[in-house]
Amino acid sequence: MVCTTYVLVLGSIMKVEMSFTTKTIIMLMAMVLTVTVVISMVLIRESDSSLVFQQEEEQLKNQRRLQLFEDILHNRMVLWVDMFSHIEICLLYTSDAADE
């Protein structure tokens, strides 16, 4: 069985005669291509959301590390201030002129 089909080729419409089987195969290939594109889009979106989730996790880890570093630095500074606040400075002044 031969069917007459109109096909768009390089901007112009051509009248093509093809068998029903060929026409069916072309339609099935077009559907498979459409499904492939849809699946690819879904996978890309999932990949993007996975990357965003990983970036958010890394950002939280870095924030925790920064907070830990700030806490350690603060505690060290408090310790140093505490240590140096107990140091007493004594200046001894002597003069030979006082002996005369």
Residue at 96 is within a domain? no
What are the tens digits of pLDDT across the range 5-60? 666 667 777 777 878 888 888 889 989 999 999 999 998 888 888 888 889 999 99
Give the C-alpha separation, 18 to 21, whole Å: 8
Rg (CA), the chain: 41
- Containing structural domain, residue 55: 2-84
The pLDDT, as a whole number, for residue 61 is: 92
| Domain count of the fold of the chain | 1
Two tokens, residue 27: 């339609």
Residue at 74 is within a domain? yes
Q: Is the pTM of this model over 0.85?
A: no
Q: How many CB atoms lie within 10 A of CB 36?
A: 10
E-assigned strand segments in 10-80: 12-19
